[in-house]
Amino acid sequence: MKLGAFSISLNVKDLNISKDFYESLGFKIFGGEIEHNYLIMKNGDAVIGLFQGMFDRNILTFNPGWDQECNRLKVFSDVREIYKKISSYDIPIEQVSLDAKSGPGSFIIIDPDGNPILFDQHI
Domain-wise residue ranges, the chain: 5-121
pLDDT the model gives residue 36: 97
From CA 77, how far away is CA 64, in angstroms rounded?
Answer: 6
Write down the CATH superfamily of domain 5-121: 2,3-Dihydroxybiphenyl 1,2-Dioxygenase, domain 1 (3.10.180.10)
pTM recorded for the entire structure = 0.89
pLDDT the model gives residue 8: 97
| HSE-CB for 35 with a 13 A CA cutoff | 0
Q: Tell me: the pLDDT tens digits for 2-32?
A: 999 999 999 999 999 999 999 999 999 999 9
Confidence of residue 92 (pLDDT cuts 50, 70, 90): confident
List, edge to edge, every strand of the sheet that includes 59-63: 28-33, 38-43, 46-52, 5-12, 59-63, 116-121, 105-110, 93-97
pLDDT the model gives residue 47: 96
pLDDT the model gives residue 61: 96
pLDDT the model gives residue 116: 95
CB-count exposure of residue 111 (10 Å: 0-12, 13-18, 19+): exposed
Give me Rg for the CA atoms of the chain. Answer: 15
From CA 120, how far away is CA 79, in angstroms rounded?
Answer: 7
Q: Tell me: the pLDDT tens digits for 52-87?
A: 999 999 999 999 999 999 899 999 999 999 999 999
Query: What is residue 79's three-state secondary structure?
Result: helix
